[in-house]
């Protein structure tokens, strides 16, 4: 009985460690995705300002990025 109980305890500890690693990786991926979306948003705002201030330059930027 003690051996069975010890087996369950070890299984629970291993499961907790695996879940902690998985959720840690999930948090890392979500954080990277949020950062990427923030950079895209800032780039879009810069492009919009450039489009209003210097439309010709914005066209060249769009052509360069679109390649």
Model confidence band, residue 3 (pLDDT cutoffs 50, 70, 90): confident
In the block, residue with structure tokens 């360069």: 64
DSSP string, 14-62: HHHHHHHHHHHHHHHHHHHHHHHHHHHHHHHHHHHHHHHH-HHHHHHHH
Please state, rounded to an integer, the average pLDDT across all residues of the chain: 92
**What pLDDT digit, counting tens, does each position of 17-53 carry?**
999 999 999 999 999 999 999 999 999 999 999 999 9
Give the pTM: 0.65
Neighbour count for residue 61 (Cβ, 10 Å): 16
């Amino acid at each position: 009985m003690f051996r069975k109980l010890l087996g369950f305890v070890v299984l629970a500890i291993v499961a907790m460690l695996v879940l902690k690693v998985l959720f840690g990786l999930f948090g890392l991926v979500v954080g990277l995705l949020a950062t990427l979306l923030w950079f895209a948003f800032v780039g879009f705002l810069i492009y919009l300002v450039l489009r209003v201030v210097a439309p010709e330059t914005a066209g060249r930027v769009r052509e360069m990025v679109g390649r």
